[in-house]
Amino acid sequence: MLGHPADRARAAFLSRFGAEATCVGIAPGRVELLGNHTDYNNGLVLAAAIDRLTAVAGRPAGGREAWLYSEPFDDLYGFPIDAPGPEPTGSWGRYVRGVCLAMADRLGPIRSGFEAAVAGDVPLEAGLSSSASLEAAVALFLLGAGLLGQEQEEAAVEVDDRMALAHTLRKAENQYVGVASGLLDQFCALFGKTDHALMLDCASFTFERLPLGEPAPAIVVCDSRTSRKLADGMYNRRREECDRIVSYFREHPPASSRSDPYRPPPPVESLRDVTLEDLNAYRERLDPVGFRRARHVLTENDRVRQGVEALRRGDVVELGRLMSASHASSRDDFENSSKALDVLIESAEAAPGFLGGKLSGAGWAGCTVNLVRADRAEEFAAAVVRDYSRRTGAEARAYVCRAADGASCIRGAEAPGASSTVRSCGRDGS
């Protein structure tokens, strides 16, 4: 759809509720450059927020009910804000309600009911974390509208600690929606920076912003438009397979943890506590499927480290090579690719300007993310769509993106992007 998502959300709010919105929360989608399925294994991730956004425009409404209209779904969703939890359905509204509950757990009860409208241009069910984008936009709206805390200004300041907010939004998805996600998606939605990648250490929650270069390469997202309906179940299964390897090493501490014979080895809490040398040494004792899953995670952590070093020296060609190696590992060891995703990567490899590419997000369907020379991005996108159609008979879509800033909120009716009106809502959002 045409138009900035914030403008569309405001227009939808006016049309549906007959009043002007007083606050708009805006948050980006994200792509994962390296670090596929490493976040919940306490690993390393290299990612970027992208300039595809979700906007939530609304205002306090009194009473104790919330009503939200979704432009993408043309659906009105309402719920009592004091009820104990979301209903177990597939409704998009579960994410909104989960955020309300998690934010209230952290900051105290929501002060009143509210009305809001949602609009966006993050492709849905494509592995670009439209759900975390929605969650972050809802959170920024709640804070900016003064619906949490004692006073509006005090409530807005609460989001200064963006990492705490990321954990709160993760709780909303884990506890109230029922998706066992890691922290990556919410982190990217809050911490993104234009033309920068984000490295997150999911064990220590330290991070680094890394310039993508000058000029920065384009990030081209290619959407297979295949269904992700089975992805959540497969995602949870992969978590269980990784956890089984962790359980084995917890009971049989690896050699690398027993360097001091006079001290007990530190406990193995995650795959981050296992080395690739340990894994290979124990290969014959491990379930072969679990071995491959763990090998992917451990080698992927190494690729993130190498990717960070490549960006520090401005080598986007090496970053692209590492992305392609990541896809091969996801395909062969983690087995979370698909025929459609593999064809998209093969089509990309033959397209002009390609530096590297891989599946994005959980996998099994959805999108690939490609690093492309900026001056060839449009040509690249057209070539991939054309070749994919020739090979499969299906229609893919391509989106030329750039790394973007994290979530923000706008008060009043000002235009999106106006420097005097867009609040960074936190020192870490700069």
Q: How far is it, in rounded angstroms, from Cα 138 to Cα 148?
A: 12
The full DSSP string for 295-339 is: HHHHHHHHHHHHHHHHHHTT-HHHHHHHHHHHHHHIIIII----H
> What angle separates helix 184-191 from helix 162-171, to the nearest 10 degrees?
140
CA-to-CA distance for 175 and 399, rounded, in angstroms? 32
The pLDDT score that the predictor gives to residue 427 is: 31
% of the chain beyond a pLDDT of 70: 88
What's the CA gap between 325 and 340, in Å, rounded? 18
Both tokens of 18, joined, read: 């007959």
Q: What is the pLDDT of residue 254?
A: 82
Per mean pLDDT, which range of 31-35, 79-83, 115-119, 386-390 is the poorest? 79-83
**Tell me, what's the pLDDT at 426?**
32
The reported pLDDT for the residue numbered 17 is 97
Q: Are residues 238 and 253 in the same domain?
A: yes
Are 273 and 349 part of one and the same domain?
Answer: yes
Q: Cα separation of 429 and 192, whole Å?
A: 8
Please check whether residue 322 is in contact with residue 307, taking contact to mean a CB–CB distance below 8 angstroms: yes
253 & 200 share domain: no
Question: Is residue 150 pLDDT above 60, yes or no?
Answer: no
pLDDT of residue 398: 96
Q: 159-163, 255-259, 268-272, 426-430: which range is least confident on average? A: 426-430
Instruction: Give the active site residue among 185, 223, 278, 405.
Output: 185
Domain containing 279 equals 220-401
pLDDT band with cut points at 50, 70 and 90 for residue 425: very low
Confidence of residue 182 (pLDDT cuts 50, 70, 90): confident
Q: Is the pLDDT of residue 152 over 70?
A: no
Task: State yes or no: pLDDT of 221 exceeds 90.
Answer: yes
Long-range contacts formed by 391-395: CB under 8 A, 24+ apart: 391/343, 391/346, 391/347, 392/340, 392/343, 394/224, 394/225, 394/340, 395/225
Tell me the pTM: 0.88
- Asked if 172 and 270 sit in the same domain, the reply is no
225 in the same domain as 106: no
Q: What is the pLDDT of residues 371-385, one digit of tens each?
A: 999 999 999 999 999
Residues 6+ apart with CB under 8 A from 247: none
Q: What CATH number has the domain bearing residue 263?
A: 3.30.70.890
Task: Looking at the structure, tell me whether residues 193 and 305 fall in a common domain.
Answer: no
pLDDT at 2 over 80: no
What is the arithmetic mean of pLDDT over 176-192?
A: 88
| Shared domain check, 314 and 195 | no
Q: Which residue has the higher pLDDT, 268 or 90?
A: 268
Residue 135, classified by CB atoms within 10 Å of its CB into exposed (0-12), middle (13-18) or buried (19+), is buried
The pLDDT of residue 227 is above 80: no
In this prediction, residues 400-413 reach a mean pLDDT of 91
183 and 312 together in one domain:
no
Residue 57 sits in a domain of what CATH number? Answer: 3.30.230.10
Q: What does the pLDDT read at residue 258?
A: 57
Instruction: Reply yes or no on whether the pLDDT at 416 is more than 80.
Output: no
Based on the domain organization, do 246 and 263 belong to the same domain? yes
- Strand 44-60 and strand 114-120: pairing? antiparallel
Domain total of the chain: 2
Give the integer Cα–Cα distance in Å for 306 and 214: 20
Q: How high is the pLDDT of residue 422? A: 30
Mean pLDDT confidence for 6-31: 96
State the pLDDT at residue 308. 98
Indicate if the pLDDT at residue 154 is higher than 70.
no
State residue 123's pLDDT score.
84
Of the given ranges (1-5, 119-123, 423-427), which has the lowest mean pLDDT? 423-427
pLDDT in the model for residue 91 = 81
What digits encode the pLDDT tens for the residues 285-331?
A: 999 999 999 999 999 999 999 999 999 999 999 999 999 999 999 99
Question: Distance between CA 215 and CA 375 in Å, rounded?
Answer: 10
Say what the pLDDT of residue 350 is.
98
Q: Is the pLDDT of residue 111 over 70?
A: yes
Same domain, 46 and 195: yes
Q: pLDDT value at position 1? A: 57
pLDDT computed for residue 429 by the predictor: 38
- Please give the average per-residue pLDDT across 81-91, as a whole number: 72
Please check whether residues 172 and 98 belong to one and the same domain: yes
Task: Answer yes or no: 185 catalytic.
Answer: yes
Note whether 279 and 370 are same-domain residues. Answer: yes
